[in-house]
Amino acid sequence: MKHLTTLAALLAGVAFAGSAMACETTLRSSDTHPDGYPTVEAVKAMAKEVEAKTDGRICIEVFPSAQLGEEKDTIEQTQFGVIDMVRASFGTFNDIVPETQLFSLPYLFRSTEHMHNVLDGPIGDEVATAFASHDLVALAYYDGGSRSFYNSKHPVTKIEDLSGMKFRVMQNDVFVDMMSALGANATPMPYGEVYSSIQTGVIDGAENNWPSYDSSGHFEVAKYYTLDQHLMVPELVAMSQKTWDGLSAEDQEVIKAAATMSEAVERQLWADQEKASEEKVKAAGSEIVSEIDKAPFIEAMKPVYDKYVTTPEAKDLVKRIQETQ
């Protein structure tokens, strides 16, 4: 029986490899992260599923490590249909799809579970719909943990320690205002420029989750990491509306189902990677400030909420998010 199973698997593998070579359509998918990173591996799992379900007709080729460009550029290329798919943070989508902006408010999500309950429910469906008017189709929500500050200068144990320091943020207005609210200076720039900018002293630090702090190598040049967890930003897999419109209804179904399946894959990989990265950077000598009073940080964000949560619709959305259990 064991032999049979192995033989069957082998044959399936051969058949699969044979048909995979006959991809009728190859979709190019971009990610800023390297091979092995949870988001990259999850889109690869999605690709495998799509190939299997379409008998190898539709292939998805994942280009990691920003090979197709920095995140903001790749989102724009996806809008134009130059790239078929992109996996990126909501933070980078903010200025392109303004409906995502409120999801980037500091301390909006209380926990990963809270974020899942919001995104996997009606609010997640609503924001997904918003992408359609920007030539994008939202396919899957991935975890991105919580983001914290790190720098090359000194440990940060309270807001005052950030005063006057220069931190890289993603290219969006909310994060620039977030830094001003904390008395620090924001330098928006693409992810790929952060390492050398810290190394050469152009900026003092940045902010990100454990896996990115690790895989980007930022821990090598900015060893003071403070677990203030000011942001929990959803990550998204999106497809170009142009590409989507060129697919049959059946193939769209297959892709949607595979994307949903990949959410579970990513969330599991994410949880494992968070722990592994935390251990790795600690072993490499990062100094972690984990005992921190977050109350003043949360309080300091009030002006950011006042600036962005102004219309009745925005107020209602934020309230509904906060009230989601």
Q: Of 226-255, which residues contact ligand GTR (CB under 6 A)? A: 235
Among 208, 226, 262, 273, binds ligand GTR (CB under 6 A): 208
Q: Is 215 in the site for ligand GTR (CB under 6 A)?
A: no
Among 38, 64, 144, 234, binds ligand GTR (CB under 6 A): 144
What is the nearest approach in angstroms of ligand GTR to the Cβ of residue 101? Answer: 15
For 128, the token pair is 């997904």
Q: Is 204 in the site for ligand GTR (CB under 6 A)?
A: no
Q: Is 148 in the site for ligand GTR (CB under 6 A)?
A: no
Instruction: Select from 8-16, 86-94, 148-156, 178-186 the region that touches ligand GTR (CB under 6 A).
Output: 86-94
Q: Is 263 in the site for ligand GTR (CB under 6 A)?
A: no
At 157, phi and psi to the nearest 5?
A: -115, -15
Instruction: Select from 204-212, 244-252, 272-280, 299-307 the region that touches ligand GTR (CB under 6 A).
Output: 204-212
Q: Is 88 in the site for ligand GTR (CB under 6 A)?
A: yes
> From the centroid of its chain, how far is CA 87?
7
x-or-dash string of contact with ligand GTR, 25-54, rule CB under 6 A: -------x----------------------
Q: Is 89 in the site for ligand GTR (CB under 6 A)?
A: yes
Q: Is 74 in the site for ligand GTR (CB under 6 A)?
A: no
> Which amino acid type is present at position 141?
Y
Instruction: Select from 87-95, 149-157, 265-273, 303-311 the region that touches ligand GTR (CB under 6 A).
Output: 87-95
User: How many residues lie near ligand GTR (CB under 6 A)?
Assistant: 13
Instruction: Select from 11-19, 88-96, 106-114, 308-316 the region that touches ligand GTR (CB under 6 A).
Output: 88-96
Q: Is 191 in the site for ligand GTR (CB under 6 A)?
A: yes
Q: Is 209 in the site for ligand GTR (CB under 6 A)?
A: yes
Q: Write out the residues near ligand GTR by the rule CB under 6 A.
A: 32, 71, 88-89, 91-92, 144, 170, 191, 208-209, 212, 235
